[in-house]
Amino acid sequence: MAGNDTNRAKDLENAFKDNQTNAILCVRGGYGALRIIDKIDYNIIKNNPKIFCGYSDITVLSTVILKKTGLITFSSPMPKGDFQPEEINEYTERQFFKTLTNDKITVSAQNLKTYKSGNAKGIIIGGNLASVASLCGTDFIPDDKFIFFAEDLNEPVYKIDKYFRQLLNIKKFKENISAIILGDFLDSEPKEQLDELFFELAKELNIPIYGGFKITHAKQKDTIPIGGFATLCDGILNIEY
């Protein structure tokens, strides 16, 4: 939240307008992105498309940018916590550059957990669950079918349930979701209730739900193109973008 909200929105616009800038890599997450989404001129972003990267709180910006402009952005590692010299994870770095320099990727789970098997396809959206839920009340849901990916940190299970309920109480979200991909829910307790929640969701929604993906606040993480077209088959996600 450093600085004036209007100035921060202008900084983002200026980064997109700057012809010397090829990519925008957000430094860190935390909180504050929600405060500027109504202050951004999205036509500037639409007319000056660039690589835009970040995760956690940055999920808010990526989700709204996709809806307002159609620009594919990236749920990716950031300098604070991921790209400091003493902290760089080789897998994370490799996947980051691989995703940014190709137009299709395959994403698979580290330890696949099946809550309901099946296949699905659609636009891939999501990221930090609490951040997406904070957008309830705004226009952020794709008009077409989508696969939703989610992770979170330091949230008790009842809050994870609450975030999913907030989203699923939106008719359009519930109608358009075709599958759920789960990353880590670090330090979420109790673990057995977390599994129960996801099995319950799978039964209620009758859609494929898989867990165990390297979508996380932890050091080893995949980079996901938000807005790419995804095909889910036997727990493996193929994305074109």
235, 108 Cβ separation under 8 angstroms: yes
Give the per-residue pLDDT at 84: 86
pLDDT digits (tens, 9 = 90+) for 199-239: 999 999 999 999 999 999 999 999 999 999 999 999 999 99
How far apart, in Å, are the Cα atoms of 185 and each of 64, 111, 115, 145, 160?
Answer: 23, 14, 15, 25, 9
| pLDDT, mean of residues 87-93 | 93
Phi/psi of residue 199, nearest 5 degrees: -65, -40
Of all residues in the chain, the percent with pLDDT exceeding 70 is 100
pLDDT digits (tens, 9 = 90+) for 35-87: 999 999 999 999 999 999 999 999 999 999 999 999 999 999 999 989 988 88
Q: What pTM value is reported for the model?
A: 0.97
Mean pLDDT for the chain?
A: 96
Of all residues in the chain, the percent with pLDDT exceeding 90 is 95
Give the per-residue pLDDT at 87: 80
Cα 66 versus chain centre, distance: 11
Give the per-residue pLDDT at 86: 82
What does the block give as tokens for 59?
Answer: 């999920």
Give the per-residue pLDDT at 181: 98
Kindly tell me if the per-residue pLDDT of 198 is higher than 80.
Answer: yes
How far apart, in Å, are the Cα atoms of 71 and each of 2, 49, 126, 132, 226?
Answer: 26, 7, 14, 17, 9
Give the per-residue pLDDT at 105: 98
Where does the pLDDT of residue 190 fall: very low under 50, low under 70, confident under 90, or very high at 90 and above?
A: confident
Give the per-residue pLDDT at 30: 94
